[in-house]
């Protein structure tokens, strides 16, 4: 899976996910939605054969990049605790 920036503004960021499945995106949007610094966190999915899945966030404070980094760290910590 590859991530890339689709659109960036002062308080918002949209990240695309090439070849991603929902097992990563759903917890990401959930964690971002619970972040007090995030005003909007939404999952964007158009036709899967034509467009990559994406997540858009807008923040009330801090940077959107920091919000994404913190959410990814939370996901990483969760999955690293799972035993095989």
Q: For 24-51, what is each residue's pLDDT tens digit?
A: 899 999 999 999 999 999 999 887 677 8
Rounded Cα gap, residues 39 and 28, in angstroms: 15
Please state the domain count of the chain: 1
Angle (CA) 29-7-46 rounded to 5° is 60
Please give the pLDDT value at position 22: 83
Task: Check whether 84 has a pLDDT greater than 70.
Answer: no
Give this prediction's pTM.
0.84
**Which domain range does residue 63 map to?**
2-80
The span from the first CA to the last CA of the chain, in angstroms, equals 22
CB 35 within 8 A of CB 71: yes
14: domain CATH number?
3.30.1360.10
């Amino acid at each position: 899976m590859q991530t890339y920036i689709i659109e960036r503004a002062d308080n918002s960021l949209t990240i695309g996910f090439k070849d991603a499945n929902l097992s990563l995106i759903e917890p990401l949007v959930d964690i971002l939605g619970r972040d007090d610094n995030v005003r909007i966190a939404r999952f964007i999915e158009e036709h899967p054969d034509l467009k990559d899945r994406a997540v858009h966030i807008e923040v009330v404070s801090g940077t959107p990049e920091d919000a994404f980094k913190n959410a990814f760290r939370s996901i990483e910590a969760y999955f690293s605790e799972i035993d095989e």
